[in-house]
Amino acid sequence: MTIRVGIIGATGYTALETLRILLRHPGAKVTVATSRGEAGQPIAAVHPILAGRMDLTITEFDPSAVAKHCDVAMCCLPHGASAETVKQLVSLGVRVIDFSADFRLSRCDEYSKHYGIEHPWPERVGKTVYGLPEWFGDQIAGADLVANPGCYPTSAILPLGPLLAEGLILADDIIVDSKSGISGAGRTPKLNFMYCEAAESISAYGVGNHRHQPEMIDLLERFSGKKPELIFTPHLTPMERGILSTIYVHPAKGYTAEDPAPVMELWKKVYGRGPFVTPVDHLPATTHVTFTNQVQLTARRSGKRWVLIAAIDNLIKGASGAAVQNMNVKFGVDPRLGLQ
């Protein structure tokens, strides 16, 4: 079986990464790529790295054409616009993996609060599978719509989820300190992401109000049954790609900060049989996971806390690789296909 894939909004970085992954996927073929601004152009005119590798012309979005030619659509549109498009595709029977934040949260009021608009398809809020196969694989397999996780939340939920679920840490004092490459801001030009503004500098942003914080809290509440008290501070670093998250937590009663071994043992138990999440003894770095769908995790002690460190590639495990992994799970093929 060949999985026919449509890329909706084919001009950004996550779309390009998805296209590159699918080029080496033995069981998938990109049959449709859409864009409002670049319709009629060959895909290589927008992404020159694809010259000689992909013969595909970008088209205007036509939901009927996508339904006719695609088994699954990867929707790489911004929030708000994505939900409207996704609704059309799902109504026509197309299975969709949505890259936006439109279906990640479980409550409409939280979405409106943090994204500043009323949700275009409120009936699906809280009723859409969160696309983290390590935890929700069984639900992903049968879902018509999957909400691909945010990049920062991936780097926090994977280490924290098992610890909260098993009661190894307290939920009332979690600090997530994350550094991201500039590609996390997308391809649209913005002043503070220009070379002369970002090079040789590191800066915090979105302090106390970054949209990925409620996503982390929402998902982690599902693991612990209790809304966690979580502080999230992202930082922009002068590198192309990657996320390093350093997370500070208090051990629960019965555990001691002097010994992080229970953390490593639980991670190995939970993730040991999966292909992409690896507990490691060394301190992870972004270069250890660049251009892969891998996650490296480790734990250390510091004073009365455990320090959890996670490294991912923000464009792959934080976006496009996760989407292809979700696609593989959805169609019952090896989750590593295209991602090895």
Judge contact between 304 and 257, C-beta under 8 A: yes
pLDDT at 209: 83
Percent of the chain whose pLDDT exceeds 90: 85
| Domains of the chain, first to last | 3-127 (3.40.50.720), 152-314 (3.30.360.10)
pLDDT band per the 50, 70, 90 thresholds, residue 196: confident
Residue 189's pLDDT band, with cuts at 50, 70 and 90, is low
- pLDDT value at 45 more than 90: yes
Worst-scoring range by mean pLDDT, 44-58, 90-104, 205-219, 299-313? 205-219
pLDDT for 201 equals: 87
Average pLDDT over every residue of 270-287: 95
Indicate if the pLDDT at residue 194 is higher than 80: no
pLDDT at 85 over 70: yes
User: Which alpha helices (H) appear in the chain, and where do they start and end?
Assistant: 13-23, 43-46, 63-69, 81-91, 108-115, 133-141, 151-165, 195-198, 212-224, 261-271, 321-330
Contacts of 195 (CB under 8 A, 6+ apart): none
Listed range (182-191, 209-218, 309-318) with the worst mean pLDDT = 182-191
Does the pLDDT of residue 160 top 90, yes or no?
yes
Place of tokens 């071994």: 261
Mean pLDDT of 237-261: 95
Summarize the confidence of residues 198-215 as an average pLDDT: 87
Active-site choice (70, 75, 76, 151): 151
User: How many percent of the chain have pLDDT more than 70?
Assistant: 98
Decide if 76 is catalytic: no
Residues 98-105: what's their mean pLDDT? 95
Q: What is the pLDDT of residue 197?
A: 76
Query: In the sheet where 243-249 sits, what is the strand order?
Result: 203-204, 230-236, 174-180, 243-249, 305-312, 295-302, 277-279
Q: Where are the alpha helices (DSSP H) in 166-312?
A: 195-198, 212-224, 261-271
Say which residue, 186 or 336, is predicted with more confidence: 336
User: Which pLDDT value is given to residue 255?
Assistant: 93
For residue 184, pLDDT beyond 80: no
Mean pLDDT, residues 312-316 taken together: 97
Packing angle, helices 151-165 and 261-271, rounded to 10: 110
4 pLDDT tier (thresholds 50, 70, 90)? very high
Residue 188 predicted with pLDDT over 80: no
* CA distances (Å), origin 172, targets 229, 264, 271: 5, 21, 25
Please report the pLDDT score of residue 187 as a whole number.
63
Beta-bridged to residue 243, according to DSSP, are 180, 312
* Token output for 172: 């009332």
